[in-house]
Amino acid sequence: MRIMLDTNVLISASLFSGKVADIVDRISDDYQIVISRIIKEEYMNTVIKKFPKKINIAEDFLREFTYTFADTPKTIKEGAFPSIRDPKDYPILASAIIADVDILITGDKDFSEVQIKSPKIMTLTEFSEKYILC
């Protein structure tokens, strides 16, 4: 199963120890992780802006974390993909669809209203409860 992790999940998993980091570690052991160009850029921009003292940790994480890279189109034709409440999230949704991931894991509530069959959009908790045996 191919799983795309959104920026907020990557931030929590890479910069803070705890439940999110443990679950993402389990996911990476059992599933193929996909990270798109837009998520990678957003991840680094967020770290630089909000956690500048952790830039080295973030860079090391991206270097050591096993994932498949998915490109994000530079331009996305309006209406080509399902609509989403926050237009800034449109490239992430488009990337997940183009990369043909099975599940997009995100904590962003704007994705919860997207009406789409594939990929499934889940929170990390929902994914964990359904797919990770504790």
Kindly report, residue by residue over 91-130, the tens digit of the pLDDT: 898 899 999 999 999 998 888 778 888 899 999 999 999 9
Total number of domains in the chain: 1
DSSP code, position 32: E
What pLDDT sits at residue 133?
A: 63
Structure tokens, 52:
């500048």
What pLDDT sits at residue 134?
A: 53
Contacts of 78 (CB under 8 A, 6+ apart): none
| Helices (H), ranges, 51-115 | 55-64, 90-98
pTM: 0.90
Q: Where are the strands (E) in the chain, listed by range? A: 2-5, 32-36, 68-70, 103-105, 120-122
- What is the domain-level CATH number for residue 88? 3.40.50.1010
Query: Whose CA is closest to 79, among 67, 71, 87?
Result: 87
Q: Is 26 exposed, middle or buried (0-12, 13-18, 19+ CB in 10 A)?
A: middle
Band (pLDDT 50/70/90 cuts) for residue 82 is low
Query: Whose CA is closest to 36, among 77, 3, 84?
Result: 3
Whole domain around residue 100: which residue ranges?
2-131
Enumerate the β-bridge partners of residue 120. Answer: 103
Give me the amino acid identity at 57: I
Phi-psi region of 100 (alpha: psi -120 to 50; beta: other; left: phi over 0): left
User: What would the pLDDT profile of 10-26 be if each residue is shown by its tens digit?
Assistant: 999 999 999 999 999 99
Band (pLDDT 50/70/90 cuts) for residue 62 is very high
